[in-house]
Amino acid sequence: MVDNTLSPHGRDLVERVLDPVRARERIRGLKTVPVRGQTARECVGIAYGFFSPLEGFMGRADVDAVVRACVCVFVLLIYLSYSKLAHILYRFTALLHARRTGRLN
């Protein structure tokens, strides 16, 4: 068994947290923007490297790959369960069960 509890999920651990003095200098004079709690937690996660080695935001190719993967999962889990093949397998299982329990001769 491999113990990788302290290793990042990628190549390098990327931490983007400034020391408090330097952070105050950099944000002085900036406007504040209200955000939801979830957005604030995601920013903290990015700053501390929870999503390492992710850098920046998803580009078009990344989004397209995620959409393709989600469509494949949807087809396998949702669509196929309502297809003709699923209906045939369901009927076969129901008839087999009915014969074994004596409900069908």
Higher pLDDT pick, 57 / 59: 59
Instruction: State whether 17 and 2 are in the same domain.
Output: yes
- Which pTM was predicted? 0.35
Instruction: State whether 97 and 86 are in the same domain.
Output: yes
Number of domains making up the chain: 2
Instruction: State whether 48 and 63 are in the same domain.
Output: no
Domain enclosing residue 49, as ranges:
1-56
Whole-number Å distance between alpha carbons of 41 and 97? 51
Instruction: State whether 28 and 66 are in the same domain.
Output: no
Residue 34 reports pLDDT greater than 90: yes
Higher pLDDT pick, 95 / 57: 95
Instruction: State whether 63 and 88 are in the same domain.
Output: yes
Cα separation values, 70 from 30, 49, 60, Å: 39, 26, 15
The predicted structure's pLDDT at residue 105: 67
Instruction: State whether 5 and 46 are in the same domain.
Output: yes
